[in-house]
Chains A and B, each alone.
Chain A
Amino acid sequence: DVKVTQSSRYLVKRTGEKVFLECVQDMDHENMFWYRQDPGLGLRLIYFSYDVKMKEKGDIPEGYSVSREKKERFSLILESASTNQTSMYLCASRDRVFVVGSEAFFGQGTRLTVV
């Protein structure tokens, strides 16, 4: 059974703190993604990685960075948390090869509140 695991379900951080969100997948997927979900805005892509040490900006990368030192792990970093980064953060992974049915698999999400 495929699995994407995010390290925390709920986090509360203070403004200005450095925040790390961790994601691990056990499917040997090349592609990993970080999205945030906000009401009325759907899922917006923050960053993605298509290989170890490779990363590309998504639609809303400002205020975030990422790290992918190992294939199975993709970290999202909030360098200095702000209240407008309060959101649900979702990690996903997907195989490199595009075949029908190779959908993305999501973690359970991390609800981050910045106070």
Chain B
Amino acid sequence: DQQVKQNSPSLSVQEGRISILNCDYTNSMFDYFLWYKKYPAEGPTFLISISSIKDKNEDGRFTVFLNKSAKHLSLHIVPSQPGDSAVYFCAALPRGSARQLTFGSGTQLTVLP
């Protein structure tokens, strides 16, 4: 049973427009969420995170929104650039644990020039 779900395996967006990647979770013990970006043949790199005490965190072109009541988070990229084309993974950490992250299945973002 997947505790972190990314229901869209792929997303295509025109350069300059907004990309919105979605993630749902089922475990109410999760209280810290992260987004990772992965290029082919490379390891994932950390992009942005959000604690459950917040509903928004912004870093440059990247903003993560958290809706705890809906157990839903989203990553907004604006404006999208061709270099943003990658697989994006949502991940979650449970309260009180410094151990393993639970990842979603990933969304392949393609930004078209």
**Interface residues, chain A, CB within 8 Å of chain B?**
4, 9, 31, 33, 35, 40-45, 48, 50, 58, 90, 92, 94-98, 100-109, 111
Contact = CB atoms under 8 A, between A and B. Distances in A.
B93 interface: yes
Interface in B71-108: 89, 91, 93, 96-106
B41 interface: yes
B42 A50 contact: no
B37 to A, nearest CB: 11
Contacts of B101: 33, 45, 94, 104
Contact of A4 (B43, B51, B100, B104): B43
Nearest to A101: B49
23 contacts: A31-B100, A42-B6, A43-B44, A43-B91, A45-B100, A48-B99, A50-B99, A58-B100, A94-B98, A94-B99, A94-B101, A95-B98, A96-B98, A98-B98, A100-B32, A101-B49, A103-B49, A104-B101, A106-B36, A106-B45, A109-B41, A109-B42, A109-B43
B41 A9 contact: yes
A31 B43 contact: no
B103 A42 contact: yes
Contact of A43 (B41, B46, B51, B89): B89
A107 B98 contact: no
Given A31-B99, A102-B98, A111-B41, 6 more contacts: A40-B9, A42-B6, A43-B91, A104-B46, A107-B43, A108-B41
